[in-house]
Each structure stands twice: as structure tokens, then as C-alpha cells.
Amino acid sequence: MTIRAVVRGVGHYLPERVVPNSEFEASLDTSDEWIKARSGIERRHFAAEGETTSDLATHAARAALAHAGLQADDIDAIIVATSTADLTFPSAATMVQANLGMTRGFAFDVQAVCAGFVFALTNANALIISRQAQRVLVIGAETFSRIMDWQDRSTCVLFGDGAGALILEAQQGQGDVSDRGILAADLNSDGRHRDILYVDGGISTQSTGFLRMEGKEVFRHAIEKLAATAHTALEKAGLKDSDVDWIVPHQANIRIIQGTAKKMGLPMDRVVVTVQDHGNTSAASIPLALSVGVARGQIKPNDLLVTEAIGGGLAWGAVVLRW
């Protein structure tokens, strides 16, 4: 028998304030038409003043616990994927742990920018199959509105805030592709590309900084790398691109999402798309899309999913799981 990390529950949280594209027209030389046509984004949510990443993560965690029918103390470990934690330390994950009233287990953050959730899922899977944890709460949570340069129209219209959470549980499988749970993963990074997507501040420079991006270059890497990593992860699982029921991609740009589906030979009606409503929420975008995909009735038990993402680093990867 094989131990599998199987999804037990999912949930999400979006801050109350919805910002349509038209709101940027007052302060920037931009338009709803440009943003929609070049990115697919129509609106995004921004956190309220004083509302932090761990607050968003805690709401999403509570939703996932309720969906799973579990209590906080049923969880052995919390991993939060984020690049926008409340404080330099402690981790957002330990804040969530305290907020949930969880008095056992362990919690830590993972930082791989927009690919963070794929890295966190892979770590959670490793904890479960190595018997370090029976149940892991994996959260992607971000407040990218806090690192936007509001004068830079090429970045500030693209990002949003939000959180999504997934609970993975150890279950016995057969050891073949019919098993529910995580079947394979593929992780990559290449630090030579660190200058095309970064924040120009940080702890060592004693500043917060703003997100800087060479959009065209990131776009080029995304188109080249996302279908390849999804394909590799599927191959590791012993599956083909055509076996996939749902691609659940990182939601950065509809043109990247369409390009990746096309390269994989899959139609858009097998892709969960939320970019129009959330913008790019970095590490939160995949768990948000999973939760919305379930709520819409798109993702159903036993469906074969592939998630894929690329972000600053560059860091990129994919996870294959049967829901």
C-alpha cells in the first residue's frame, strides 16, 4: 500500500474591497480596455487598511476546516506560501496557528513567489509520505497591494490580494494513477533570471520596496516553461497531457493561460479561470482557483488536475493530483 496526500477540504477568502479596472483610469494613463485585452483582468480585491496576510490566511483556513469538517487541533502542520508576510518574523504560518487556537503541531512559511503554492504542496506531500504529519493545512496568502508602485502602470493594474487553503490528509492508495491525492510534482528554479521579476527592497536593505517586472520577458519564460513543467509532472506520474480533466493554472494573464492550454493540446473548457475576478494574487492564485472551481461545480471527486505556476526567481513547477 502507498501513502497518498489526499485533499480533505478547500476554502478561500477575498477582501471585501473590489477594485474594477476603471478605478485606475483616474490616476494612470491606462484603460479598462487595455488591461482586459492584454491580461484578461477585469477586477481585483484589495485588503483593507490594517488587514494583513495572516488575517486573509486565517479566514481561508477556517473555510477549509469547515469544508473538511475538522477542528484546528486535527491538523499536524501548517504551511503558508507567501512573499508578503505580516512581519519579517515570526512566520505568517505561526500567526495563523495562534489565530486558529491550534496548540499542537508545527507551522512555517514557504517563499517561491507566484510558484509558492506549488512548492508548498510538494513540501506538504513530502511531510505526509514521510509520516511527519497526517494532516497538513496548505495556504497561499498574499497582500501584493502593499508592494505596488502606484505610478507604474505596467505592474500595479495586474495584482490583487487574497488567500486560499487546502487540507491534505494521509490516506492509503493502491500506488497507481487511479489513487486520489498528489501523484507527482516537478519543481524548478533558475536564479540567473532574478532581475526580470523582483522587489527592490527587503530586510537587508531596510526597506519594503516595490515589485519590478520586465513583463515581456516573464511572459516569454512563462509560455516556454509552464506547459513543459506540467508535461514533466504528468510524465513522472505515468500520465499524458490528454489525461487531464482540469488545468488549474497560476492566474497571471489569460494569454499565458490560453498559450499553456494550447501547448498541452487541451481546450479552454478544461481550464479553471479566475484571473478576470482576482487579478494575479501570486501564491494565493492556485488555491483560490481550486476553491472557486469546486464551488462552481467544475472540479469533482476523482478528477485529474494539474496545477502549474511561475514566478520571481525565476521559480516554477507543477503538481499532478487526483481530487
Active site residues per annotation = 114, 250, 280
Q: Which residues pair with 159 in a beta bridge?
A: 280
Comparing CB distances to ligand ACO, the nearer of 113 and 234 is: 113
Cα gap 64→9, rounded to integer Å: 5
- Interface segment toward ligand ACO; rule CB under 6 A; list 35-43, 87-95, 232-240, 265-273: 35-43
Binding mask 191-230 for ligand ACO (x = CB under 6 A): ------x-----------------xx-xx--x--------
Q: What angle do CA 69, 73, 75 make, to 5 degrees?
A: 75
Comparing CB distances to ligand ACO, the nearer of 56 and 127 is: 56
| Position 78 contacts ligand ACO (CB under 6 A) | no
Q: Which of 97, 122, 189, 253 binds ligand ACO (CB under 6 A)?
A: 253
Half-sphere exposure for 191 (CA within 13 Å, toward CB): 0
Q: Which of 305, 302, 283 is nearest to 139 (CA)?
A: 283
User: Residue 243, Cβ neighbours under 10 Å: how many?
Assistant: 13
The H or E element spanning position 224 is: helix 215-237
- Interface segment toward ligand ACO; rule CB under 6 A; list 34-42, 102-110, 231-239, 266-274: 34-42
Cα dihedral 54, 57, 59, 63 in deg (nearest 10): -160
- Interface segment toward ligand ACO; rule CB under 6 A; list 4-12, 188-196, 223-231, 251-259: 251-259
Contact 191, 198 (CB under 8 A): no
Q: Is the dihedral of CA 21, 208, 17, 288 positive or negative?
A: positive
Residue whose C-alpha cell reads 508576510 in the numeric block: 85
Contact 316, 2 (CB under 8 A): no
Cα gap 226→315, rounded to integer Å: 11
Q: Which of 7, 157, 237, 273 binds ligand ACO (CB under 6 A)?
A: 157
| Position 30 contacts ligand ACO (CB under 6 A) | yes
At its nearest, how many Å lie between ligand ACO and the CB of residue 101?
A: 32
| Position 256 contacts ligand ACO (CB under 6 A) | yes
| Position 289 contacts ligand ACO (CB under 6 A) | no
| Position 279 contacts ligand ACO (CB under 6 A) | no
Comparing CB distances to ligand ACO, the nearer of 105 and 140 is: 140
List residues near ligand ACO by CB under 6 A: 30, 34-35, 38-39, 113-114, 153-154, 157, 197, 215-216, 218-219, 222, 252-253, 256, 280, 282, 310-312
